[in-house]
A and B are shown apart, each in its own frame.
Chain A
Amino acid sequence: QKEVEQNSGPLSVPEGAIASLNCTYSDRGSQSFFWYRQYSGKSPELIMFIYSNGDKEDGRFTAQLNKASQYVSLLIRDSQPSDSATYLCAVPWGGYSTLTFGKGTMLLVSP
Chain B
Amino acid sequence: DVKVTQSSRYLVKRTGEKVFLECVQDMDHENMFWYRQDPGLGLRLIYFSYDVKMKEKGDIPEGYSVSREKKERFSLILESASTNQTSMYLCASSLLQVQETQYFGPGTRLLVL
Are A and B physically bound partners? yes
The reply to whether A46 and B43 form a contact with Cβ atoms under 8 Å apart is no
Most buried by B among A49, A97, A98, A104: A97
Contact residues of A: prevailing secondary structure: loop
How far is A42 from B107 in the complex, measured between Cα atoms in Å? 7
A99/B106 contact (C-beta < 8 A), A44-B43, A88-B43 known: no
- A-B pair count, CB < 8 Å, reads 55
A-side contacts of B95, CB under 8 Å: 97
Question: What string of 1s and 0s marks CB contacts (under 8 Å) between B77-113 and chain A?
Answer: 0000000000000100011111111111111000000
Report Cα–Cα, A44/B42, bound state, in Å. 11
Q: Which residues of A contact B50 (CB under 8 A)?
A: 96
Task: Give the size of the chain B interface in residues (CB under 8 angstroms).
Answer: 27
Q: 29 A-B residue contacts at CB 8 Å?
A: A8-B40, A31-B99, A32-B99, A42-B107, A43-B90, A43-B104, A43-B107, A44-B43, A44-B90, A44-B104, A46-B101, A46-B102, A46-B103, A49-B99, A49-B101, A88-B42, A88-B43, A92-B98, A92-B99, A96-B98, A97-B31, A97-B95, A97-B96, A97-B98, A97-B100, A98-B48, A101-B43, A102-B42, A104-B42
